[in-house]
Chains A and B, each alone.
Chain A
Amino acid sequence: MTLQKFAVTFALGSVVLLTAGATSLTAQSHVNPPDPLLGTPSVTSETSHIDGLTGNAEGGKMLYVRFCIGCHGPDGNGQGMNAQWIDPQPRDFTEATFKCRSTPTGTLPTDDDLYNAITRGFVTTNMPPWRPLSPQQRADLVAFIKTWSPRWAKEKPGTPLNIPPETPVTIESILHGRELYQKLECWKCHGPEGHADGPSAATLTDSKGNPIKPFNFSTGDRFMCGDTNRDLYRIFMTGLDGSPMPSFADVIQPNDAWDLVHFLRTLQVALPNQELTLWQSYKAAHGKDLKPIGPDSAGGAQ
């Protein structure tokens, strides 16, 4: 084959193959809406600030296309092509409602909250930990996520919750936490033993009307928003916005909240912890004196 022949063949082949594909995509664009990620000018202005890093939305855009679009969708509304098979459903960024925050219920999260969520992932969902991305990439994604809702331009994030030092783990603290678990009716969703089998568990829906399950303390060793006692404290003091889990910040005092944390740890029978050890030895000696948690213990569970 001469030089000219194969050059022409190569060129024609490239043109035929690549144009066929492009035509196919163009035809598809008549059916589907145009991709909003292209030519959206406003995305370039948003930034995020995490420690010493400044995230840029422009840098986050292509990362979003690469990593996030399959679930969260080209419109950021949680309706990516895989969303229909995912339970719980991916976050709808257009609502700017986030479960894991350090800020009061109803407020926007901080950049750190979003960064930590991306880094940690959500263990009980399809959202993986994105620690393999560099800190800068995660910061860029935070900035881009903030472009999906006008709330970010109009509102400031809430003031992060001040978490006091943890109180000592004692049997009195656990017993008081158990009373609170009964009194605050946590058992109605999470169940008397934390098995996520309370009477309301089957009826729960999130803010979009999708069925949602309460956390099962007996099998889970990590929480959606972290795995430390401080994370657990923060979860029920800020609530998980968009889910039936309310904020208890206006209901219980900080010391009481730590007592509740200590009791909740005793429900995590699959995870060795000091609260569980203490509780098991107490139960061995005084178990028969404990009132069961549930509707018949309206006067207190102890």
Chain B
Amino acid sequence: MSMKFREGTNPMSMNRSRWKTILTSVFLLIAIAVCDVRAASALPSGKVIAIPAFARKYGLPCSACHTAWPELNNFGQVFRDNGYQLMNDRDSPIWQNPSYFPISFRITPSWHRESTNNQQVDAVPGNGLGDGIGSYTQAGFDLSGMDLWSAGTLYKNISFVLLPSSDPTAVWHFESAFIRFDNLHGSSWLNIKFGRFELDNLISEKRFLFLSNNGGLYQIYHFNVPGDSNNFGYGDNQIGVELAGHSANSYTRYSVSFLSSNEGGVNFTTDVVPNAPPANRSYDVNLAFSQAFNAPGPPGESGFGQERVGAFAYIGQRPTYYQTEDGVPLVGLGNKPFFRIGFAGDLSYKNLELMPLFMYGHDNPYLGTVLPSTAPLPTGAQAPTFYGGFLEAHYYFNPQNVALARFEQINVGQQSFNNVSAGASGSNGNITAFSFGYRWYPIMFSRAGVALDAEYSRVRTIGQEPLSGDGDGTVGVPNAAVWSSSIYFGIDFDF
């Protein structure tokens, strides 16, 4: 743990925080031990009547495509890269039973507790003045949003994804919707995707294993320097067209995406919900490349597993002012650039999987200062930058039991102004986060899956509200650390 972490302004002492972590770990281990892991370690056997939709098509268990559902393994990656085709006769829609429709549902009932300190709250609870500083805590049973996932082939080498997704209150949007033309000219190196989709991230946030408010996002995929007008998030789905290719076993992969500069928004806006701010008229580009190889093990052993490393770059633009009518913004103008670059890995050592990622972000000073590009930059204005990353670890006891941990650190390299006012901090916005959890998959059929998920996550954000949205919206002591923690139990199921 870094010195920075120790020096945080967490009102709890470091010792106490450490004990919390240790105690939680111990209790988790006890809980696991209480269960008969040996009994739980094999797939349910015998003639279990499962939901047969996928079974009718391919007959593969979840674990064939997922290291731990929903994270893909290399077989699943190849299946996805081939346009949801296994490249045998069963890919064709004609093999599907007429009553078959490739659709699945995912939702997670849960109990969770969210607590955030350094919040502006009533000094005397209920006085309505918001005149004090304290913690804001909520706990109870809850629901996640819901995914209504449909994907498959329309024809040989023409595939699709349609993913309407709702928040917990059933407000829907199209998370993903695209058609993909696969294996053009008979080559796996030429595939074109058209629509709204996740960027070709080596480490996918859409398919990861954490669910809690604070742990359920990669902070750096959504980070921008405080005060910056840039709304870009590397983990957010974007809209446009993607050219991608891969070797036969997907060990080598590349993609080039040409995207609207509107954060995946629809209807010429910057979001997928009604009344979002209008978009500009420019385009962004995302580049991704990765290479995998097999790491040999000691003589007589079966090797360490597959190792994958990759790099990415996103070059984009965002507007600095709007054409308006009666003050109502119509279209973004005065575009200024930004970029994100980084590298990532997915490394295996037998049952241990390590996923490191590093990212550097750089925005134009106009985006950082929120000034129209037609205006001169004020003295001290500079390009906001940040850097950081995470290291995530999974340990697979077997295909049905996986322990998780992640540590993440983001530092602001350069604030938008170099002449920060007295009392302001150059580290404003810095984030330190750690999460750990355990997922157990008692059911892993070819179509239905159930995972029991337990997590603990803790995030420290300097002078800002946590990206999870926890907290009451107003930091109590400016420039001081805000700690937010999540405790989470959920039953994640997919039908």
Contact = CB atoms under 8 A, between A and B. Distances in A.
Interface residues of A, number: 67
A56 to B, nearest CB: 6
Interface of B: 16, 19-20, 23-24, 27-28, 30-32, 34-36, 38-50, 52, 55-56, 58-61, 63-64, 73-75, 77-78, 86-90, 111, 113, 115, 137, 139, 248-250, 294, 296, 300-303, 305-306, 398-399, 438, 440, 442, 445-446, 452, 454, 456, 487, 489, 491
Contact of B34 (A3, A15, A59): A15
A122 B39 CA distance: 34
Contacts of A22: 35-36, 39-40, 442
Interface of A: 1, 3, 6-7, 9-11, 13-15, 17-19, 21-22, 24-26, 28-29, 31-35, 37-38, 54-56, 59, 62, 65-67, 69-71, 73-74, 79-86, 90, 121-137, 140
Contact of A21 (B46, B305, B440): B440
Contacts of B48: 32, 81
A121 B55 CA distance: 17
Contacts of A121: 86-88
Interface of B is mostly: mixed
Nearest to B50: A81
B40 A70 contact: no
Nearest to B86: A128
B31 A14 contact: yes
Contacts, number: 202
B248 A74 contact: no
Nearest to B77: A132
Nearest to A22: B35
A132 B250 contact: yes
Contacts of B87: 121, 128-129
28 contacts: A10-B24, A10-B28, A14-B28, A17-B452, A17-B489, A18-B31, A22-B40, A25-B442, A31-B46, A34-B45, A35-B42, A35-B43, A65-B43, A65-B63, A70-B59, A70-B60, A70-B64, A73-B45, A74-B43, A81-B47, A81-B50, A82-B60, A123-B89, A126-B90, A128-B58, A129-B87, A132-B77, A132-B250
A136 B248 CA distance: 17
B444 to A, nearest CB: 9
Given A14-B454, A81-B55, A127 B302 contact: no
Contact of B55 (A15, A85, A122): A85
B55 A11 contact: no
A129 B88 contact: yes
A170 B489 CA distance: 71
Nearest to A8: B27
B46 to A, nearest CB: 3
A135 B90 contact: no
Given A82-B50, A124-B89, 7 more contacts: A3-B20, A10-B487, A17-B454, A19-B31, A21-B35, A33-B46, A128-B87
